[in-house]
């Protein structure tokens, strides 16, 4: 497990959307824009599943996830590699659901990613 640097946390907090890459068990890739990516703690990030059936299916089949936060003007940001976990209830889910409700969005799941590697540029 790796720890998020302060630079990575800043990128996650300011750059929208982040891009989340997953792959099915057969290796078919998928990339999805996520405006809900948040830092949970030094070793985890979260995003909400509003309409991401392929992302969720892929994580269930193959939990490897790559995330890119990029400032297109400066080409600076961070990359995160880790393992995704689908959360369907509990405190983390309830907090994310309440946050997304303020944006008039209803979530289906929360994905918690355990950070295995992080790189900033």
Are 47 and 34 contacting, i.e. CB atoms less than 8 angstroms apart? yes
**Per residue in 25-72, pLDDT tens?**
999 999 999 999 999 999 999 999 999 999 999 999 999 999 999 988
In this predicted structure, what is the pLDDT of residue 81?
98
The DSSP secondary structure of 30-66, one letter per residue, reads EEEEETT-EEEETTEEEEEESS-HHHHHHHHH--EEE
Q: Does 6-120 carry CATH code 3.40.50.360? A: no
Distance CA 41, CA 94 (A): 17
Reduced to 3 states, what is the DSSP secondary structure of residue 28? Answer: coil
- DSSP annotation of 1 reads -
Distance CA 31, CA 76 (A): 19
In this predicted structure, what is the pLDDT of residue 1?
82
pTM of the model: 0.94
Residue 73 has pLDDT above 90, yes or no: no
Distance CA 28, CA 74 (A): 30
């Amino acid at each position: 497990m790796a720890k998020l640097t302060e630079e990575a946390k800043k990128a996650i907090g300011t750059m929208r959307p982040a891009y989340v890459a997953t792959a099915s068990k057969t290796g078919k890739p998928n990339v999805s824009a996520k405006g809900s990516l948040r830092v949970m703690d030094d070793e985890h990030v979260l995003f909400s599943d509003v309409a991401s059936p392929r992302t969720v299916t892929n994580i269930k089949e193959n939990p490897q996830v790559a995330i890119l936060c990029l400032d297109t003007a400066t080409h600076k940001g961070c990359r995160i590699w880790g393992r995704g976990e689908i959360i369907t209830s509990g405190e983390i889910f309830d907090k994310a659901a309440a946050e997304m409700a303020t944006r008039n969005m209803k979530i289906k799941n929360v994905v918690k990613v355990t950070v295995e590697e992080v790189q900033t540029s």
